[in-house]
Amino acid sequence: MSSNKIKQAVDNLKATYNTNNPFVICEHLGITVRERNFNETRKAYFVSIYGQPSITINSNYIEKSKNILCAHELGHIILGHTGVNNFESENQEAEREANLFALYMLFDENDFDMKFENMTSYLIKYTLDRNIKLANK
């Protein structure tokens, strides 16, 4: 999916629900969000069972990180990715799209030296990863 379409999807959600908080948007959309105490290697994932999506987030992360993880997983759902996806999936295109979705959802493009659409997959992931921190580290 093109960067422009991802940005439009995010802009529509933010305008419809008057927020960029992914937890609030999930609530409006009827998407269940749970937290579980995972080890450090699992950050978050989404699964859709019988058409009902659900997001699970590692409870060991700080709130800002949980917002990023939730936005990323919400991106998978909104962008129509199927099956089970997690923040470290092997599907590079789906991960890039979900990362870009989270970037548009939570960050102000004006704070960066380049447009999000011009960022490489690596730079997008690096930007998000730099903002994901465990609560006790």
Burial 58-80 (b: 16+ CB within 10 A, else e): bebbeeebbbbbbbbbbbbbbbe
Q: Is the pLDDT of residue 10 over 90?
A: yes
Structure tokens at 83: 């099956």
Residue 47 and residue 54 in contact, taking contact as beta carbons nearer than 8 Å? yes
Q: Tens digits of per-residue pLDDT, 73-124?
A: 999 999 998 765 555 555 588 889 999 999 999 999 989 888 999 999 899 9
pTM attached to this predicted model: 0.90
For residue 78, the one-letter residue type is I
Q: Tens digits of per-residue pLDDT, 50-68?
A: 888 999 999 999 999 999 9
Cβ atoms within 10 Å of 7's Cβ, excluding its own:
19
